[in-house]
Structures are given as C-alpha cells and as structure tokens.
Amino acid sequence: MIVKKFIFMMFMACATTPGIAQDKLASMAPVDKKMRTIDSLSIVRLLQHEEAEQTPASALYPEWNNVYTTHYGVEMPDEYKIDLRGFHMPADSRLVTSHYGYRKTFHRNHYGTDIKVYVGDTIRAAFSGKIRVVDYEGKGYGRYVIIRHSNGLETLYGHMSKQLVKEDQMVKAGEPIGLGGNTGRSKGAHLHFETRFLGQFINPEKMFNFEMQDVKADYYVYRSNGRGTLMNATGVLAATENEENAVLDKEEESREFQQQKIAAQKAKSRTSIHRVKQGETLSVIAKKYNTTVKELCRLNGITERSTLRIGQILKHS
Ligand SMILES: [Zn+2]
C-alpha cells in the first residue's frame, strides 16, 4: 500500500517537472508511431499529387509550352523505348481513310493517319497525359489538341468540331478530349491523328493497328535512323510486325518524301513564333520565352503600348 502510494506520489511529482518530457513521449510512443505513419502516408500522397501535376516526360523535353512548334534544342536519343501499353483508340471507328506519307497528288506530306469519324463523334486521349495545345488553324488542323504523354510521345487530334479540354489539363487514356468534325483543311469529317516523339513524326500505323483497335506490340523502339522496331514485354521482337514496319519505312523514304521532310523541318526551325491568346500581355509572353518586352517589341516592330490581338503572331526569337 505504502509502495503504491509512493509510486503515485513520484508520478505526480515527475509529471510537473520538465524532466518527465522524455518519459511522457515514451509512454505515448504507440500513438506517436501511428501519427508518423499517417504523416508519411500523406507525404506519399502529396508527392503522387505533385507528380501528377508535373509535366509528363519532363526528362526528355526541355520545356513545356502551349504553342504549336517543333521542339528546340532537343538532342534526339539514338534509341528510346516507347511504352505503348495503356493505349486507347482515339475514335471508335476502325476505318483508316488516309495513310501517313507523301501524297503525290498534293505534293506534300501527310504526317498523320486519318480515321473516319462523323461530326459529333467522341474523340478520346490515346494515352494518359497533359494537354499541351488547344488551338485553331483555319488552313490546317482546324480545331486541334496536342497531348504530351509520359511515354515520351505527343499525340495530335485535328479537324475536330469542338475541343472539350483546356491547356495544362491532365487527362486519362480514353477520356473525351473533343468531338469529331470537318474543320480546317479537311474534305469530309475525319480525325487526323499524329504521333510525334520529341517533335519528330512517327507513322502511327507503325505502332497501332487501327483495324484491330490495338497496339502492335507493348513497346516501339524509336531509332534516330528511322528504323524503329516493335518489342513485346519479354523483349522479343515481334518479327512479322517489324517486317511490315520495314515496308512502311521503305515507302516513306522515297527521295521526294525525304526532300519534303527536310524542307518542312527547315521551315519549322526558322519559325519561333507565338500566337497571342486571350488575356496575354507582352510581359507574360516575354516571360514564357525567357526574353524581355523590349526584345519582343524590337523583333515585331511594335511598342510596349501596342494592343495585342488574340491570334496575333509574334516572333519571340
Ligand atoms: Zn490527315
């Protein structure tokens, strides 16, 4: 009895002294541990959230912008394994109405695959990613959307009647991004679907079988020499598909086509323009391209007080 009372008194005495802090913490250890677990879980969630907010494939691309241009200063890797798993057909239709490649009748290249759609048909993101460009080109793509994906690809969807997404928005594979249409340079409703890797066009039909509505293999190995190959999950080359790809390569590499390609690339590398969007000021645009308002004025022959029009083209370098 006396012992018990003594312990109680000791406890009371200790409780009022600062020295007890350590013991107190020790006695609370299980609770504390639990708290820490909750903390680390919320940190993990926070990191995952941040990751989701980040730019996909940021290790590959030097910058993120909302302007349609080629990518500057990108060193093309000799080889890069593009993960095709998680692909979703951009349209329900299986019908390819025009292939990728040089069109003799038009003396120009067709950098995508045309898929038959009707006005109002749902157009979906081919992979999860982040919307980079939502824009309109009256003499070209019409209403179009460009998405950057974490596998390194960028996909473009052209001639839509309506865009359903906003720039910098994250989307999941298969999520609706627009409606089929006939806008821009288009005769009859269809979806113009492009795939690019670091700004270089890749024939979508090398990676996807639109008729089967599926990927041709789990991976497409991009090669800077243009001889990309297909690979499955175990690393074995899918031989038949690669033979098909070789045929596609050959078709594309006609002299005329190559010349056109070089000319197009040259033209692109000369244009470093920005299309003014709603609410943008010179200082906002200057900041975007790491330049100054003064420099923008000089390049475009305007003054700091010039009124910017939506859709106006500005040189930024
Ligand atoms: Zn097309």
- The alpha carbon of 257 and the centre of ligand 1 are apart by a number of angstroms equal to 16
- The alpha carbon of 205 and the centre of ligand 1 are apart by a number of angstroms equal to 13
- The alpha carbon of 110 and the centre of ligand 1 are apart by a number of angstroms equal to 6
Q: Specify the pLDDT at position 75.
A: 82
- The alpha carbon of 107 and the centre of ligand 1 are apart by a number of angstroms equal to 14
- The alpha carbon of 147 and the centre of ligand 1 are apart by a number of angstroms equal to 17
pLDDT, block means (10 residues), the chain with 317 residues: 45 44 50 59 62 77 81 82 96 95 81 96 98 95 97 97 97 98 95 95 95 94 90 79 79 65 63 81 88 88 86 83
- The alpha carbon of 194 and the centre of ligand 1 are apart by a number of angstroms equal to 8
- The alpha carbon of 172 and the centre of ligand 1 are apart by a number of angstroms equal to 24
Phi then psi for residue 29, to 5 deg, are -45, -50
* H or E element, residue 158: strand 153-160
- The alpha carbon of 305 and the centre of ligand 1 are apart by a number of angstroms equal to 41
- The alpha carbon of 192 and the centre of ligand 1 are apart by a number of angstroms equal to 4
- The alpha carbon of 206 and the centre of ligand 1 are apart by a number of angstroms equal to 16
Q: Rounded CA gap, 93 and 190, in Å?
A: 10
- The alpha carbon of 102 and the centre of ligand 1 are apart by a number of angstroms equal to 11
CATH number for the domain formed by residue range(s) 79-270: 2.70.70.10
- The alpha carbon of 157 and the centre of ligand 1 are apart by a number of angstroms equal to 9
| CATH number of this structure's domain 273-315, picked from the four choices 3.40.1160.10, 3.40.309.10, 3.40.190.10, 3.10.350.10 | 3.10.350.10
- The alpha carbon of 112 and the centre of ligand 1 are apart by a number of angstroms equal to 5
DSSP track, 204-252? HHHHEETTTTEESSSEEEEETTS--EEE-TTS-B-HHHHHHHHHHHHHH
Query: Bridge-partner residues for 26, per DSSP?
Result: none
- The alpha carbon of 273 and the centre of ligand 1 are apart by a number of angstroms equal to 24
Please tell me the chain's helix, strand, coil percentages from 3-state DSSP, rounded to the nearest 5: 30, 25, 40
The structural domains of the chain, with segments of one domain joined by +, span: 25-54, 79-270, 273-315
